[in-house]
Chain A
Amino acid sequence: MSEEQLNMETERSRSLEEQFEARIARDEKIEPKDWMPEKYRKTHIRQMSQHAHSEIVGMLPEGNWITRAPSLRRKVALLAKVQDEAGHGLYLYSACETLGISRDELYEQLHSGKAKYSSIFNYPTITWADMGAIGWLVDGAAIINQVPLCNTSYGPYARAMVRVCKEESFHQRQGYEIMIKLTNGTPEQKELAQDALNRWWWPSLMMLGPTDAESVHTEQSMKWKLKRKSNDDLRQQFIDQTVPQAELIGLTIPDPDLKWNEEKKSYDFGEINWDEFWQVVKGHGPCNKERMKARVGAWERGEWVRDAAMAHAEKKQTSLKKEVS
């Protein structure tokens, strides 16, 4: 390529990039076949697949209670919920594939530890009340994170999020309802509920991401509408929304420093243990290894099944071709 050609090429991509940014600024949706900067594509694959992986790994802690749900009604609701999560995963992997990466490649990234998933799922679900706490707090925090994404710039992601958010908000109410039932129950049940809140409160706050000072992706993501509020703002919103819900059902938030601040019209809260957050993110939480072992195990045990399905489909295709000719 001559220098002149090179200059033209650079000029061309610069102008494409300007047009691209202008479209986003005008709130237009970017669709799979549209031109997009490589960084946009990569960032979206990273965030969307991370989201999909979180749905899939997130099936494990709740799946853990399906066989032990306390009533048939709860069992059916929990099965349906975990199935919704699988559906979200499927949706999001498909949306991700529109950016030119296969589901198998995405799985490979998850299994090798290259791709991350939400750290909250590395905590164990040790009592039935954890099903309530996860729905109420974890899905509650997820919604706060995800509602703004219904207006994100990448079309397939935005559309997937509309559906995901509807279902998540149902899950959140379902979780809160489990907690209501427990707090209206026997002292033993109340204790289960309080204990679950004690264990899930801080990890739920961490779930909204590191403080703004330490968040590496925020600025670019804001521009692309992958993010509309900072982690700290989202966290504050979550706390302000959740504290009254806890009070309403007679549960105590496990934070001695939590206090209403009349001036800023929101709650002040205690110090988050970021060492714990980073420990879990780096793979050393209570269940990181179990979760990965379960995912990789399912994938490896399923290999002969997937191979068989492929082989069968090819045989069918061949016999169909023969019939046609």
Chain B
Amino acid sequence: MNNNLYKYILGIADNSLILGQRLGELCGHGPSLETDIACTNISLDLFGQVRSYYQYAAKITGNGKSEDDIAMLRKEREYVNVLLVEQPNTDFAYTIGRQFLFDVYHLLFLNELQKSNDLMLSAIAVKSIKEVSYHQRFSSDWVKRLGDGTAESHQKMQDAIDGLWTYTDELFHQTDADKIIVSEGIGVDVTNLKETYYSKVSELLQEATLKTPESKWFQKGGKEGIHTEHLGYLLSDLQYMQRTYPNMEW
């Protein structure tokens, strides 16, 4: 088994898994029927991508593991998503801010991943780009609406961006496995995306009449499995059935 490739795939897929799970929490509780439907839709897209990645990862392990084993039966320290996506749905501004800060990265990332010399990853990227372009349009539009809406919404959106900013830098970190996979022409060198990311985000924030935070204090750890306190609760829900009723078919 190519252990580095396996780890690399989890590094991509776990982001979508955890973000999809967060969005799933909101289903039925959105500020309007339209946003409710849209957030559920994004969640559905992300879980669809997750399944493709994990099915591929499961094949690579060659030990009969299933997509659900990978999704639901790892320990907390074995999840390698970035800290950004596990942040809670504090309010709609946070939900949108988290989505926006991730979507801009996600789209840049997939654009590169489609050039991967791993045909499976490239195919998943091609399929996902269409979906993620929509996600980015949706979240950017809402950042603009909330930023340039009322005084209250402006403040809330600014607070969310400020609060989440500390988790953006981690998107451009590389693990040892990442570096090896990049050198093999399979992975994306995320350090090259950083500049474009921050300039794109700044441009959109400016359009939304919001300030780009200046803070240079960043948090990291997710990619090494060191998470915020929020993740454990999310995993308790995610894993509940598989843990309570082990080895069953659903």
A interface residues, Cβ below 8 angstroms from B? 56, 59-60, 63, 66-76, 79-80, 82-83, 86-87, 89-90, 93, 128, 178, 181, 184-186, 188-189, 294, 297-298, 301-312, 315
User: How many Å from the CB of B52 to the closest CB on chain A?
Assistant: 11
List 18 additional contacts besides A184-B249, A305-B92; criterion CB under 8 Å.
A67-B25, A67-B237, A67-B238, A68-B237, A72-B54, A79-B40, A79-B47, A86-B28, A86-B37, A87-B37, A186-B245, A189-B245, A302-B92, A307-B152, A308-B146, A308-B152, A308-B153, A312-B148
Contact A181/B250 with A59-B28, A72-B71 known, Cβ cut-off 8 Å: yes
Contact A189/B248 with A59-B28, A66-B25, A76-B44 known, Cβ cut-off 8 Å: yes
Scoring B34, B54, B152 by chain A CB atoms within 10 A of each residue's CB, the highest score goes to B152
Q: Please measure, in the bound complex, the distance between the C-alpha atom of A103 and the C-alpha atom of B216, giving whole angstroms.
A: 46
Check if B33 is an interface residue, CB within 8 A of chain A: yes
- The residue on A at minimum CB distance from B51 is A72
B205-250 interface (Cβ within 8 A of A): 234, 237-238, 240-242, 245, 248-250
Q: Please measure, in the bound complex, the distance between the C-alpha atom of A75 and the C-alpha atom of B28, giving whole angstroms.
A: 15
Contact A315 B148 (CB under 8 A): yes
B interface residues, Cβ below 8 angstroms from A? 21, 24-25, 27-37, 40-41, 43-44, 47-48, 50-51, 54, 67-68, 71-72, 91-92, 144-146, 148-150, 152-153, 156, 234, 237-238, 240-242, 245, 248-250
Q: Please measure, in the bound complex, the distance between the C-alpha atom of A59 and the C-alpha atom of B27, giving whole angstroms.
A: 8
User: How many Å from the CB of A168 to the closest CB on chain B?
Assistant: 17
User: How many Å from the CB of A14 to the closest CB on chain B?
Assistant: 40
Scoring B28, B48, B72, B238 by chain A CB atoms within 10 A of each residue's CB, the highest score goes to B28
Q: Please measure, in the bound complex, the distance between the C-alpha atom of A308 and the C-alpha atom of B160, giving whole angstroms.
A: 15
Contact A66 B24 (CB under 8 A): yes
Contacts of B241 in A (CB 8 A): 68-70, 128
Contact B238 A68 (CB under 8 A): yes
Contacts of B249 in A (CB 8 A): 181, 184-185
Q: How many A-B residue pairs have CB under 8 A?
A: 138
Contact B37 A72 (CB under 8 A): no
Scoring A66, A80, A93, A307 by chain B CB atoms within 10 A of each residue's CB, the highest score goes to A66
Scoring B48, B149, B242 by chain A CB atoms within 10 A of each residue's CB, the highest score goes to B149
Q: Please measure, in the bound complex, the distance between the C-alpha atom of A304 and the C-alpha atom of B31, giving whole angstroms.
A: 9
Contacts of B25 in A (CB 8 A): 66-67
- The residue on A at minimum CB distance from B157 is A308
Contact B28 A79 (CB under 8 A): no
- The residue on B at minimum CB distance from A302 is B31
Q: Please measure, in the bound complex, the distance between the C-alpha atom of A309 and the C-alpha atom of B32, giving whole angstroms.
A: 11
User: How many Å from the CB of A200 to the closest CB on chain B?
Assistant: 19
User: How many Å from the CB of B29 to the closest CB on chain A?
Assistant: 5
Q: Please measure, in the bound complex, the distance between the C-alpha atom of A76 and the C-alpha atom of B27, giving whole angstroms.
A: 12
User: How many Å from the CB of A218 to the closest CB on chain B?
Assistant: 31
Q: List 27 A-B contacts (CB under 8 A).
A: A56-B28, A66-B24, A67-B24, A68-B237, A70-B245, A71-B68, A71-B250, A72-B67, A82-B27, A83-B37, A83-B41, A86-B36, A90-B33, A178-B250, A185-B248, A297-B29, A301-B31, A301-B91, A305-B35, A306-B31, A308-B145, A308-B149, A308-B150, A308-B153, A309-B145, A309-B149, A315-B148
- The residue on B at minimum CB distance from A310 is B149
Q: Please measure, in the bound complex, the distance between the C-alpha atom of A186 and the C-alpha atom of B250, giving whole angstroms.
A: 11
Contacts of A73 in B (CB 8 A): 51, 250
Contacts of B250 in A (CB 8 A): 70-71, 73-74, 128, 178, 181
Contact A307 B44 (CB under 8 A): no
Q: Please measure, in the bound complex, the distance between the C-alpha atom of A90 and the C-alpha atom of B35, giving whole angstroms.
A: 12
Contacts of A67 in B (CB 8 A): 21, 24-25, 234, 237-238
Q: Please measure, in the bound complex, the distance between the C-alpha atom of A305 and the C-alpha atom of B91, giving whole angstroms.
A: 10
Contact A72 B24 (CB under 8 A): no
The 9 A-B residue pairs with the shortest CB-CB distance, nearest first, are A302-B31, A308-B149, A308-B153, A70-B241, A59-B28, A63-B28, A305-B31, A70-B250, A67-B237
